[in-house]
Amino acid sequence: MSEEWGPWIEHDGMGTPVPEGTRVEVEDWGGRIYTGQVVGREPLPGEVDVWDWRHCISQGRPQWLVKRYRIRKPRGLTMLQQIARDAKCPQKVDA
């Protein structure tokens, strides 16, 4: 089963907007797209926090800034959406 993603969301540069452990796809200002899981910790020495634009710019890496992101839909949600699409709605019967 392939991954399904939600819509692209423009990022405002004010920290990480999604919870730790969320699987995301991000596009940076350099046009590169990355897929990964959000890690809820401070960057280690030499790492850059790509979600926080102030940190990224201060580290000399403005092209790494997250421009937009989208969240992977949980498999259960994808399955429920398919069930809903496949379901036949009962017809209203006049009594």
What digits encode the pLDDT tens for the residues 18-45? 988 889 999 998 899 999 888 877 777 7
Q: pTM of the predicted model, to two decimals? A: 0.67
pLDDT at 10: 96
d(CA 22, CA 70): 10
| Residue 89 confidence (pLDDT) above 70 | no
Q: Which of 24-28, 36-40, 66-70, 90-94 has the lowest mean pLDDT?
A: 90-94
Q: Is 10:26 a contact under the CB 8 Å cutoff? A: no
pLDDT at 93: 65
d(CA 41, CA 49): 10
Query: Which structure tokens are listed for 30?
Result: 């350099």
d(CA 4, CA 19): 18
How many residues does the structure list for the chain? 95
